[in-house]
Each structure stands twice: as C-alpha cells, then as structure tokens.
Chain A
Amino acid sequence: MKVIIDHSLCEGHSRCMDDLPEVFEVRDDDRSYTLVETIPAELEEQVRKAVSVCPRAAIEIID
C-alpha cells in the first residue's frame, strides 16, 4: 500500500500523526508528510482509519 497527501487540502490537523507517528509527520509548514515509501502490511488497517478521519480528506491510498 502507498499513500499520497494532497497538500492543497492538508492543513496540519494532525489526526494522521496522532494515530500513526511512524507513518505521518506534520512539519513546520503545517503539512503532513509520509515517512515511509510503502506502508508496512501490519499498519495498513490503521492507515485506512487515518484516511477516514482526516478532517480534510487529504490522504489518498494509491495502491
């Protein structure tokens, strides 16, 4: 699984990083970045959850 974060939407609400600091990092520009290229299989479920609670619907699963 891979994800992309749409930076025209993300406003640093940080729901993603609160739940999954090993995958998402909100930086000083108030945008979230992924720390891994490919999501480890054991985190896929939690990443799906992060996608659904992002207040701006900014995280997209690409494959």
Chain B
Amino acid sequence: MQNDNAKLTLENLNITDTKLYVKDGYPWAAWDLLRREAPVFWYQRPQYEPFWAITKHEDVGFISRNPDIFSNTQLLRLADTGSLKIGQRGRIRNARRYGGSPDDPPDFIFMDPPEHRQHRSAVSRHFTPRTMRALEGHFAQMSGDYVNKFADILVDNLTSKGANEAVDVVHELAAKLPVAAICEMAGIPSEDWDQIFSWTEALIGAADPEFRLPGESQEQTLRRSSGEWRRYNEKLVEQRLAEGLGGDLLSALMQADIGGESLNPKEISSYFTLLVAAGNETTRNSITGGIKALLDHPEQLEHLIANPDLVPSAVEEILRWTSAVIQFQRTAMQDVEIRGQLIRKGESVVMWYPSANRDEDVFTDPYKFDIERTPNDHFAFGGFGEHFCLGAHLARWELRSMFTALLPVMSRLELVSDPQYVQGSLHVGGIKRMMVRSKAA
C-alpha cells in the first residue's frame, strides 16, 4: 500500500491526517517505516501537540504494564488541538451543570492505580470469561436470528426481478449484535436500542457530518448526544430506584462499593455510557472487517467453512487483522527510557495498536491473513496490563457466535464496492458502509 508517486520518509510520513485514513485506510506503509527506522519517534505535525510515536509490540507492552510510569490521567487519546478544546469545553460545561470539577476523570479509563482498580472492579465480574460462557448459547441464538434476517434480504434481492440489489452489511448485520448484547447486559429496554445506537454513533463519529443532524457542528452533535444520553440514564436510574435493582450493569454501578463509598450520579451516568458505548463501533468494525478479510482471502474462507472449530482462532486473527482501535495515549510521570531513547517527564507517548499487530519481530509474515496463526498475542484489546479491554471476552464471544452463524452464508457473498470509512476519527477506525450481494447462482 506504498504511496507510489512520492517516496515515504520519516520527514514526510503522516499517521495523523484523518483524510488519508478515509482515502486509503490505515497508514500501514508509514507504520512499517517507523517500526523499521524510528520505533520511538518524536512526531511533530501541525495541529497536534508533539508526541512519541510508539509502533513496536514490545514497547506497547512495556508501557501498558507500567501504569505507574505512564499515566492515563493527563491525555487519553491523540486528538487534534481543535477536538481537544471541544472536549475541554464539554468538561467545563458538565462540571457547571452536574457539580465536581472539570478535571475529574470522566470515567475509569482516565484513572491510574490504585483508584482505577477499585472503580473497574465495580463491574468487572460482569465481563469475565465465566460470565460470558454462561451467555454463549444466548449469543448464538441472537447471531443466528440476525444472520437469517440478513440472508433473507439477500435472497429477496436476488430473486425479486433479478435486480440483485446490494445490501449494506454494516447496518443490516454487523451493527446489530454488539448493541443488542451490551444493552441486554445493561438492562436497557429493547425499544430504546435504536436510540442508544445513534447516540454511540454520534459520540464516536461526530467528526463525520453523516452522523450529525442537519446544520450541526461537531461540537453541537457531541453536546446534544451526550446531554440526551445523560438525561436518559437519569431516567433509567429513577426507574431502578422505583422498581428495584436487578442483575444488570446499571444496578451494579448503583450498588458499587468503592472503599466504603458509592458512585455519585454523574459517575454512574458516565460509567454506564462508557460501558454501553465502548463495545459498539469496535465490535461492529471487527465483524465488518472480518467479513471483508474472509472475502478477500477465499482459500482461508474455504478452510474455515470446512473446519468450523477454527472459528475461535479465526476470530483472534480477525481481531489482529482489523485492529479496530487505532491508538491510546499516556503521559510519562518520570524520565524513562524506551529502546535507549529518553522520554522526559511530562512528554506523551502514543501507542499505535495496528502497527504493533504487524510487528515482524512478533508475528511471522505479519501481512498474511492466517486463521490458524499460533501464537497470536495481538494487542487489538490494548497491551497487556492495567487497562486491557474490559470487554475483550464479550467481544470475543460476540465475534465467535457471529462468524459461526455466518459461515453457511459467507460463500454466497461478494463485495460490490470498496468499504467507506468513517471520517475524522483517529481513535476507532470505522467502516461505515460496505455493500455486498449474493453471487449470481
């Protein structure tokens, strides 16, 4: 995917221009060059505060397991200076309206240990492998239903007057299970799922005009969606208080015991939003990206269809291959060396997960899509350590059930056009539309 006209160099490479992500997808060639020539690279470009770009698997691992050195409390993810200002104004507004200080961590991702562990453990048992295994059968049934509905659309399109119209696999299939699964766990009534889905799309995709209401700016979209969602959460809390608590995530947050104290209403709402939002675009993109990867590699697809017990291993490869989360950022709390390079106290490091997942020192033939890859210690869910994705097992079970259900349909599918990418996000690299249809028999 090398840019053919201009030679890529450390001086001209660009891994932050979101327009390039929309045009070409992830900047693989630039990351390759960084890993090879400057794995700890002081990146300075207009509209971004300079940072250390970290592109090797080993270094992402080192940062992730040392939260005492690399803090989450200052900057969480790389954003241009304009978006950072929007975020700051939002926090000031929220503090004015709901109390507390603009510097309060909005949720536990922004915390360091020991606070982080206490807060995360308020809900962590809802996401353990054991809890997920209990839901396995239920996920399988939901996936089966969604795939059947999707297959019906394909067949209808194929048979109705032979037009064989294309279908958007993102909205007709990939988007459905992640919202349904987390909303069920959260205790959100099914008639509200569509609304929840459009809020998460707006919060994550506000930089893309397609996810705003007509005439809205990015900031107005964020403000409206987060305000509406917060009021919705407050209503849900009141309902629980009136009707009694249950085994759902909201009830768990309302009963949380954090060193003898409970969460305040602002925290309950933002934690709840985090839990519901974190797994939507990410899991959806892994489903879409997985479908594309399998269609792009017909021999792997065939092998998987012949050996469905390879689904769990194929899912790990899909996670590595799609790397739905692009980066998270940390701030050094002391001087520290990475690969002999001095990082000074106060400077920030940005961990580029897709790059770590193509690191040739860890993955043999990293650009080969191999559903049997072993070992496959990818960092799609972040480096191993303090903030490792809380929803990793939920996402895994969703993907496993989805691809198991999809297998019988997959060999009939064909891509109609290249996927369209979400504009403006440097955090979750999303496919917003991917048109497929049935192969003509």
Q: Which A positions have Cβ atoms within 8 angstroms of B?
A: 8-9, 11-14, 28, 30, 52-57
Q: Is the CB of A12 within 8 A of B114?
A: no
Q: Which B positions have Cβ atoms within 8 angstroms of A?
A: 61, 64-65, 113-114, 117, 121, 124-125, 127-130, 375, 377, 381, 384-386, 388, 392-393
In the A-B complex, the 6 residue pairs with the smallest Cβ-Cβ separation, listed nearest first, are A57-B65, A57-B385, A30-B128, A8-B117, A55-B388, A12-B128
Task: Say what secondary structure dominates the interface of chain A.
Answer: loop
Task: Note all chain B residues with C-beta closer than 8 A to A8.
Answer: 113-114, 117, 121
Nearest neighbor of B124 in chain A, beta-carbon distance: A11
Task: Note all chain A residues with C-beta closer than 8 A to B385.
Answer: 56-57
Instruction: Give the residue of A9, A12, A52, A54 whose beta carbon is less than 8 angstroms from that of B130.
Output: A12
Instruction: Give the residue of A28, A52, A56 whose beta carbon is less than 8 angstroms from that of B386.
Output: A56
Nearest neighbor of A14 in chain B, beta-carbon distance: B129
Q: Is the CB of A11 within 8 A of B128?
A: yes
Q: Is the CB of B114 within 8 A of A53?
A: no
Q: Is the CB of A55 within 8 A of B128?
A: no
Q: Is the CB of B384 within 8 A of A53?
A: yes
* Cα-based distance from A54 to B377 in the complex (angstroms): 10
* Cα-based distance from A9 to B124 in the complex (angstroms): 10
Nearest neighbor of A56 in chain B, beta-carbon distance: B388
19 A-B residue pairings within 8 Å (CB atoms)? A8-B113, A8-B117, A8-B121, A9-B386, A11-B128, A12-B129, A13-B128, A28-B130, A30-B129, A52-B61, A52-B384, A54-B384, A55-B388, A55-B392, A56-B384, A56-B386, A57-B64, A57-B65, A57-B384
* Cα-based distance from A30 to B127 in the complex (angstroms): 10
Task: Note all chain A residues with C-beta closer than 8 A to B392.
Answer: 13, 55
Nearest neighbor of B375 in chain A, beta-carbon distance: A53
Output the least CB separation between B79 and chain A (Å).
27
If the complex has contacts A9-B117, A57-B65, are A30 and B125 also in contact, measured as CB distance less than 8 A?
yes
Q: A30-B125, A53-B375 are in contact. List 12 more A-B contacts (CB 8 A).
A: A8-B113, A8-B117, A11-B124, A11-B127, A12-B128, A13-B128, A30-B130, A52-B384, A54-B384, A56-B384, A56-B385, A57-B65
* Cα-based distance from A45 to B124 in the complex (angstroms): 30
Nearest neighbor of A6 in chain B, beta-carbon distance: B117
Nearest neighbor of B131 in chain A, beta-carbon distance: A30
Q: Is the CB of B117 within 8 A of A55?
A: no
Q: In this complex, which of A14, A52, A53, A55 has the most chain B Cβ atoms within 10 angstroms of its Cβ? A: A55
Task: Note all chain A residues with C-beta closer than 8 A to B64.
Answer: 57
Task: Note all chain A residues with C-beta closer than 8 A to B375.
Answer: 53
Task: Note all chain A residues with C-beta closer than 8 A to B117.
Answer: 8-9
Nearest neighbor of B113 in chain A, beta-carbon distance: A8
Output the least CB separation between B4 and chain A (Å).
39
Task: Note all chain B residues with C-beta closer than 8 A to A30.
Answer: 125, 128-130
Output the least CB separation between B383 and chain A (Å).
9
* Cα-based distance from A13 to B130 in the complex (angstroms): 9
Task: Note all chain A residues with C-beta closer than 8 A to B125.
Answer: 30
